[in-house]
A = this chain, B = another copy of it.
Amino acid sequence: MPSVAPAPATPPRRVHVTEVGLRDGLQNEAVLLSTAEKMALARALVEAGVLEFELTSFVSPRAVPALADAADLVASLRGTRGVHWSALVPNLRGAERALEAGVDSVVLFVSASESHNAKNVNRSVDASLEGFEAVARRLEGSGIALRGAIATAFGCPFEGDVQVEAVGRIARRFADLGAAQLSLGDTTGMATPPLVTERITHLREVVPTLSPTLHFHNTRGIGLANVMQGLALGVERYESSIGGLGGCPFAPGASGNIASEDLVYLLTEMGIETGIDLDGMIAAARIASRLMGRPLPAQVSKAGPRLALSDCSAVPTALGRA
């Protein structure tokens, strides 16, 4: 194996948090939100300081009715000062729709495992990658950035382990297409700290120009432990979902994406700048919970910030003496 640079000893001073709740969160929820409701949630998040959104997907409206308003939503929010609005697209048709609506970047997505890609977009991994060439050509000179996203990057719910080389091979294709950013999707919560280290180390070898984004799900409870590993490796970009919106289609009751306010709480307490205000995020999470009509998995929204103190006199139970 080639030698690799050691991980930095200190976490980054500043981290970029991309909000994916309106895309990855809603995609797995039964409740359908109106475009106006989505706009209200997005605006609350912007108010809290969120500057980067993966807002929606330009996929089949029949397959994902929750995101059928993709074009209207992007068109309604585009141009918000200082905010970057991106959208997932699986192919040229999706990219055309996204460009027309006015996104700031398109995120081309493909799974690292064949069976997941087949289930997701009904084609082989190579067919997805070949289709991306036309998107890259279409984007040339448009000023709209091309980004990459690899689903099942830490494991596949159908196939199990995913070899790091499969991720590296796709990453190289994205680099060749001109992508500057690449998101590693932990689609069903199979990432672990050693896999984070393995994948980040490998990508730094094979695609040193690509800035990695870590996209964890909390399906098995260790989403923020994986963030800690990413921070120890110096990774500066993370994706999360307000309230922990979204579930796992393969595990009833299991959590979906890591919760944005829990992530922002962790980063803030570690002295890492995000530009995002925790109280504002808790307010946005309340809106999300109200819109979905149920409590969401995020924790800090329920407990409040660390120094939200309790009234001692209001506390009922003591352990008492023996």
The residues of A with any CB-CB pair to B shorter than 8 Å are 27, 57-60, 62-64, 89-91, 93-95, 97, 115, 119-122, 155, 157-161, 188-190, 192-194, 218-222, 224-225, 227-229, 232, 248-255, 259, 262, 265-266, 269-271, 295, 298-300, 302-304, 306-307, 309-312, 315-322
A253-B302, A254-B303, A265-B222 given as contacts; is B193 within 8 A of A312 (CB)?
no
The residue in A193, A312, A318 that gathers the most chain B C-beta atoms within 10 A of its C-beta is A318
Q: By the criterion CB–CB under 8 Å, are A222 and B266 in contact?
A: yes
> How many angstroms between the C-alpha atoms of A63 and B271 in the bound complex?
40
B158/A309 in contact, CB under 8 A: yes
When the two chains form the complex, which single residue of B122, B194, B320 contacts A270, counting CB atoms closer than 8 Å?
B194
User: How many copies of the polypeptide does the oligomer hold?
Assistant: 2
Interface-central residue, A60, A189, A298, A306, by most chain B CB under 10 Å? A306
Question: By the criterion CB–CB under 8 Å, are B303 and A248 in contact?
Answer: yes
A261 to B, closest residue via Cβ:
B221
B307 and A225 form a contact (CB under 8 A): no
Contact pick for A318, options B63, B295, B319, B320, CB 8 Å:
B63
Chain B residues positioned under 8 Å from A227 (CB to CB): 225
Interchain nearest-CB distance for A259 vs B (Å)? 6
Determine if B63 and A320 form an interchain contact, defined as CB atoms under 8 angstroms apart.
yes
- Judge whether A319 and B228 touch: CB under 8 Å: no
Bound complex: CA of A12 vs CA of B218, how far in Å? 24
For A266, list chain B residues within 8 Å (CB). Answer: 192-193, 221-222, 225
CB-CB nearest 9 A-B residue pairs? A94-B322, A60-B320, A63-B320, A221-B299, A221-B262, A192-B269, A228-B228, A251-B303, A254-B303
